[in-house]
Amino acid sequence: MPKPTMQTTYDELVKLCYECVLDESKWHELLTNLMQASGRQQGGILYKFEHSSVGQISDVSCFDPAIVGPYNEYYCELDPGRLYVPQQEVGRWYNDFLDFGIKAIGRSPYYQEFHRLTGLGNISCVKLYEGESSQAFLSLLTNWDSKLPNDRQQALLYRISPHLTTAGRMSERIQRLELQLAKRDLLLDQHTAPLWLVDGESRVVYCNQAATQRMNQVGFALHETFGRLNCTHQEIDLHARVRQASGTCGPQRAGWLRLTGPQAGDLLITPVPAEAPFNRYFQKPLVLLALLDNQPQSNLLADIFHLSPAEQRLAELLALGNTPEACAGRLNVSINTVRTHLRTLFRKTDTSRQADLVKLFARLRRG
């Protein structure tokens, strides 16, 4: 098999750079191949976060595992590179044997105490990106007993640098977007009101966890079929109100639909502002649907006030507007038992009247 040329190696490295953008696991492969092509024996990606003066070796590492802990815990504070690399432009390589100097390396406690004892040699490091709250660096090292890379190997690093930094910036951007989406999903999934985001044809763009759970319940009117939100016995009314809110048949206008069936509730249907940033991506009118029902959040009430199962069931019925007598009938217990539980509820919720208790539950029942 013919030996790969420097151009072939370069092309493969460039390809790997952009594979890393969509597949984080490729960074390790890129690091390994780059070390081999550039005459290095160890390397890794380091991150420096806001309010920190030093970089830390990350999980993307081809360093001897025995050095990672000592470096991150102590020697990173002594590394002379911390005074040079963070201040350099993105994409500019720092080479300690050139920028710090051979004589300075010989006098440096960091090199003499750490590199010599662990078998590490010279450092070449490049800043991949500089974000609002973090910086990332790719660091390549020779072993202590290895010779310095030759001119062709150094030239390869300089040539590949623009692709490394572009891949780094793109990866950081995607990771930031994924984190933002995860935060929003968490917030929306913690919201106990079922929410749907649909287009003018009632095709579901997004629904939160509460909406999915309700659609899976037997007897619930709303359901998704082939990606479209439908409503049992009220499909025409639902789609008409969605089109009205989206502006596909006149000015955008909010509306509501009272759902029928065993799980009744009011469905609020409102236009999404055209200037909403995410709406510009879809380039079409969107509509937000929120189910305003009277289902108490019994688990929330139980957690907040440390209610027993019997007290929790009574709280649910009271929140729905039942009288103590009606609660006794529904629970199949005596009115005296209900009154005993009611006094306990007053004590645990720091209320003294049934009306105040019901108001408190009503405020909390949607989480």
Query: Tokens in use for 100?
Result: 């710090």
Residues of the chain with CATH 1.10.10.10: 298-364
C-alpha Rg value of the chain to the nearest Å? 31
Give CA 200 to chain center in angstroms: 29
Determine the pLDDT at residue 367: 47
Least confident interval from 64-73, 87-96, 347-356: 347-356
Q: pTM for this structure? A: 0.63
Determine the pLDDT at residue 181: 78
Determine the pLDDT at residue 294: 53
CATH top-level class for 193-292?
alpha beta
What's the pLDDT band for 72 if we cut at 50, 70, 90? very high
Sign of the alpha-carbon dihedral angle for 222, 228, 233, 234: positive
Q: Is the pLDDT of residue 156 over 90?
A: yes
Query: Tokens in use for 11?
Result: 């092309």
321's torsion region: left (phi>0), alpha (psi -120 to 50) or beta? Answer: left
Determine the pLDDT at residue 131: 83
Residues of the chain with CATH 3.30.450.80: 6-181
What's the pLDDT band for 274 if we cut at 50, 70, 90? low
Average pLDDT estimate for 72-93:
90
Q: Is the pLDDT of residue 196 over 80?
A: yes
C-alpha 180/C-alpha 182 separation (Å) is 5
Instruction: Quote the percentage of the chain above a pLDDT of 70.
Output: 91
**What average pLDDT is seen over the chain?**
86
Determine the pLDDT at residue 277: 60
Looking at domain 6-181, does it have CATH number 3.90.180.10?
no
The CATH code of the domain at 298-364 is 1.10.10.10
Residues of the chain with CATH 3.30.450.20: 193-292
